[in-house]
Structure 1
Amino acid sequence: MADYRLSQEARKDLLDIAIYGDENFGVAQSNKYRDQLKLHFELLAEQPKLFSAVDYIKPGYRRSVCNKHSVYYRIDNEGVEIIRVLGRQDYRKAL
């Protein structure tokens, strides 16, 4: 199994997603959504080149979409690093 890591920013993004989900959709639905994100991260680790490079945003970055969120990540010698998990935020400012 390939590995993935979360940047500090991605960890904060997931915490924000959890808080928002808990408050607006309930804990059970929020947990399901987070589980879907984790499965998506595992897919990225297993098939990191499945999604397109977005060098025009930042060299070496790739982007995938999981439900309502864009997942920005990069491939390195240790596997995949999840950089950010963004909803409607301005990716230019966030990255």
Structure 2
Amino acid sequence: MLLLATHAALALAHARSTELADLNDLGLRHAIDTRDVIGQAKGILMQRQGITADAAFALLRSTSQNLNVKLVEVARNMVAHHAELDD
């Protein structure tokens, strides 16, 4: 009985560690994607307004705060609709 319990505990521990590793991979992927889209939005602002990277980030941040929308969502909208902003 002890042997069976030990095997069950090891199997559960392995399953849990695999699940945690998968969640960690998803978290890292999300962080990279978030960073990329914010970088793209900064680039759009830098090119269009002739401002520095720091100024572009500050503009994104203040827009996010003023609209009460997450910064990454502001950046996603800008990247998705930047062609429409030219009109």
- Per the TM superposition, whether the score is higher than 0.5 is no
* Larger fraction in strand: 1
Higher Cα Rg, which structure: 2
The alignment's TM-score, normalised by the length of structure 1, stands at 0.33
* Larger fraction in helix: 2
The alignment's TM-score, normalised by the length of structure 2, stands at 0.36
Bigger relative contact order, structure 1 or 2, given CA contacts below 8 A and separation 6+? 1
